[in-house]
Amino acid sequence: MVCQPGFLLESRPNPQGNVVLENSSGPMSETICSNGDSTSASEREVGTRWRLIGFSALLALTIGLVAFVEVNTWRQLERLRKDFKEANLESFYLGVYLRETVLRMDGALFRFELSEDAAERESFQRDAEAMTQRIKKTRALLTTSTERELIEEISRAGERYVLESEPLLERGLRGIRKDTAAKLRDELAVKSAPLIALADKLVQAQNVALNRFFDSSGAALGVLQTMLVVSLVLFAALVGSAAALMFRAFVAPLRVKLSQREALLARQEKLASLGVLAAGVAHEIRNPLTAIKFRLFSLKQALPEGFGENEDVEVINNEINRLERIVKDFLQFARPSQPEAKLVPIESILTEVRDLLRTVLDQKSIELKLEADDATLVRADRQQIQQVLINLVQNAAESIGQNGMITLRVRREGASPSAPDQPMVTIDVADTGKGIPPEVEKRIFDPFFSTKEGGTGLGLSIASRIIEKHGGFIHYSTEPNRGTTFSLVLPRVTNDESANSAH
């Protein structure tokens, strides 16, 4: 609802005793807007609850992601551990070992043939036995099919080489010429050539397997490193999100409440000072205003018949009456009267408001809808609550203009900030008007702030103090071009309390 000029409809009896509606300017003709805290305590609790639910969901999701990363990291570590356990690095050098061993055995056999030194024969036999045991030991450690096929061929070739060399170990010493030694070397080389060729193939195959193992290990380490980084990022995000959500869920509301209390104290101090000033100004204005009004009455009596109805005299009289109402509202702001609280059904108050405003609203084609039951009771001053509701309905009508709907709705819900166990009732005044502009919302609760020419800007302050005197508060919700809902939250009288009051 747009904060714009409005007027308060007052009911006055005419000389015939009928009730008529008159327009009244003054502070209560201001558009009533909500205070700066447009969110009720229950709405804040709902917001906090949803923040906690969101935090719990985010925490669960982050923990799940961290657990996923940790499980995969652990799997990578197990895989690396298994690969290193299965991959005995000595097995990768089997081909080199076999080649060197065969060459060493050729040399021992050649020297034995030349010198018949028993040590050389024993060296040959030791190497042959060591080669056989080494082949048996490392056969199970080979990882590729090519290596396993080659080791089987090498095993057979090694047995054949040893068998073919045994006759040479039994030959006695004989004179050998140069050409005979060369021939012997060639003979031995021919015997060992197949085994050496197979050992060279095994060296190549093992080089390929070793490179593959290093590549696989490097890739696994890269994945592990990435997972560790992701885990750290997720952990940092979790800590940051937790800190941010904890701040929003707990620290920020406390800061908001603190700033609101500080603003409320400042506003109350300002209102107290303004109240004292207003009381003094109103008192000083009332005395000369009374004298002027009396002199005008005397002047009208002294004028010849017909002159008392002069337009200037009527303007002066109307302006004096308006000044009196302004002074009255100033005094009401400075020294608000205590409500004469009585047990009344809300439905009867709303019905009176509807009956008083129906004619005016019908002229604008505005429907005033009532949603209430006669079982909801409040302890309130009927006239004061009616005064606030009439003003809200009238301003809702001004926001609509033509063709719309205003709904007076009673809801048995709401929360008291000071007494959470106190049952409350909410009276909504919902319209289909233009909504409240953001630039107006910023200052709607500033004392003496008005959007109409000649307004005093005290309407909201007086309405709020009336509701506060009843132990309640006002809040609102608005949406541009969709409408505004003002809510009066008041303590509700339960059936037990009403029964006790009756007794």
Residues forming CATH 1.20.120 domain(s) in the chain: 70-233
pTM for the model:
0.46
In one-letter notation, the amino acid at residue 324 is: E
pLDDT tens for each residue of the chain, 503 residues long:
333 333 333 333 343 333 333 333 333 333 333 444 444 445 555 666 776 777 677 777 777 777 777 777 777 777 766 666 555 555 667 888 888 988 898 888 888 888 878 888 889 889 889 888 888 888 777 777 888 888 888 888 888 888 888 887 775 545 444 557 788 788 888 888 888 888 888 888 878 877 777 777 777 777 777 877 777 787 787 777 777 777 777 787 788 788 878 877 776 677 667 667 766 777 677 778 778 877 777 777 777 766 656 677 777 877 887 777 777 766 666 666 778 888 999 899 999 999 999 989 999 999 999 988 777 889 999 988 998 898 889 888 988 989 999 999 998 877 666 677 788 899 999 999 988 888 887 777 666 666 656 556 666 677 778 888 888 888 888 888 889 898 999 998 886 665 555 44
CATH architecture type of domain 70-233: Up-down Bundle (1.20)
Half-sphere exposure at residue 49, Cβ-oriented, CA atoms within 13 angstroms: 6
Query: Can you give the length of the chain in residues?
Result: 503
Tokens for 484, please give them: 């505004």
Tokens for 238, please give them: 């979790």
Alpha-helix runs per DSSP H in 39-144: 41-86, 94-115, 118-139
Cα distance between residue 425 and residue 440, in whole Å: 28
Residues forming CATH 3.30.565.10 domain(s) in the chain: 1-11+19-33+338-503
Give the single-character DSSP code of 421.
T
Name the burial class of residue 313, with classes exposed (0-12), middle (13-18) and buried (19+) by CB atoms within 10 angstroms of its CB: middle
Phi/psi at 392 (nearest 5 deg)? -65, -40
Q: Under CATH, what is the fold of the domain 1-11+19-33+338-503?
A: Heat Shock Protein 90 (3.30.565)
